[in-house]
Amino acid sequence: MSQTPPLDEQQLATLVDRFYEQVRVHPELGPVFNAAIDDWPEHKRLLTSFWSSVLLGTRSYRGQPMAAHRPHPIRPEHFDQWLALWQKTADSLLAPEHAALAREHAEKIGYSLRYGLGLQERKGALPLGVPIAGNA
């Protein structure tokens, strides 16, 4: 029985790159992201650092996700579209257990952002800044 190799930074960089290439051309998400992002390569590096911190525990990300999202015209359905696209991309690129972990964290983060942006009532959301199991 072979064991799946651990998730690594290169896999996350590929996931982030492919995901945001799809976001850029998405009919609903593209206009929001393209208006907000001036430097896509830098944004992808920042988001790779974010996901590395979340999924690998690297603590390399130094940003404020809530503040970064607050000034943009984000609607509740954007989170569902973002999550569906993230799940599809993760499933196509990562081993099943890694894709499941990426989906699980994305759901929690999305829920917290929706709540923090006033787009959803709080029902068991994890507040931002609370370590997710395995990343303390």
Residue range 7-18, pLDDT digits in tens? 999 999 999 999
Decide if 17 is inside a domain: yes
Q: Identify the domain containing residue 36 by its residue range.
A: 9-116
Q: Is the dihedral of CA 12, 124, 126, 132 positive or negative?
A: negative
User: pLDDT digit string (tens) for 35-91?
Assistant: 999 999 999 999 999 999 999 999 988 888 888 888 888 888 899 999 999 999 999
Decide if 126 is inside a domain: no
Split at pLDDT 50, 70, 90, the class of 123 is low
pTM above 0.85, yes or no: no
Domain of 82, CATH number, reads 1.10.490.10
Decide if 64 is inside a domain: yes
Number of domains in the chain: 1
Split at pLDDT 50, 70, 90, the class of 124 is low
Decide if 2 is inside a domain: no
Decide if 136 is inside a domain: no
